Amino acid sequence: MRDAFKYLTSLLFVAVVVQVALAGYGAFNATSKADDNDTVSGKTITDGYNAHAVVGTIIVAIMVILVLVALAGRLGSPWVPWSGGLLLLGIAQMLLAWLGDAVPALGFLHAVNALVIYAGIAMLAHRAWVRRDPAPAAPA
């Protein structure tokens, strides 16, 4: 299970990087499709962010799997609390995205939370790959 955990953390890290790239695509897609009078329709913006929304949902699903692997593998501390914390941040991220349409200022928190998720999964993946389990004690 430890190997599954390591690979899942790496997959999450790559997915988060792709997610940030898709957010950039959505922003620049809207800019490039601006009309001559510098207006962009809501549909154009939404269309540019569709992939970002899909990948975000997939990321949260992988976070759920990560928590389950940590629990099933009895990986204990720090793996279960960290993966659980990332899942909570992922759920908050989805809520901030949904609520951001009604309260645009939440877009600020959505972006900051994305940075926290990026840092958290980067650190967790790194630690999962470099951690060495202690050698069993020598018989007395």
Mean pLDDT for 34-53 is 80
Kindly state whether residue 115 falls inside one of the protein's structural domains.
Answer: yes
> Is residue 136 assigned to a domain?
no
118 contacts: CB under 8 Å, gap ≥ 6 = 16, 17, 20
**Is the residue at 58 inside a domain?**
yes
Give which of 116, 136, 125 is closest to 9, Cα–Cα: 125
- For residue 120, being part of any structural domain is answered with yes
For 55-111, write each residue's pLDDT tens digit. Answer: 999 999 999 999 999 999 888 788 999 999 999 999 999 999 999 888 988 889 999
Residue 139 DSSP code: P
Question: Is 64 in contact with 41 (CB distance < 8 Å)?
Answer: no
Tens of pLDDT, residue by residue over 24-41, are 999 888 888 776 666 777
- pTM value is 0.84
The verdict on residue 44 lying in a domain is: yes
* Number of domain units in the chain: 1
Would residue 88 count as lying in a domain?
yes
Residue 66: domain span:
2-130
40 within a domain of the structure (yes/no): yes
Residue 49 domain-assigned (yes or no): yes
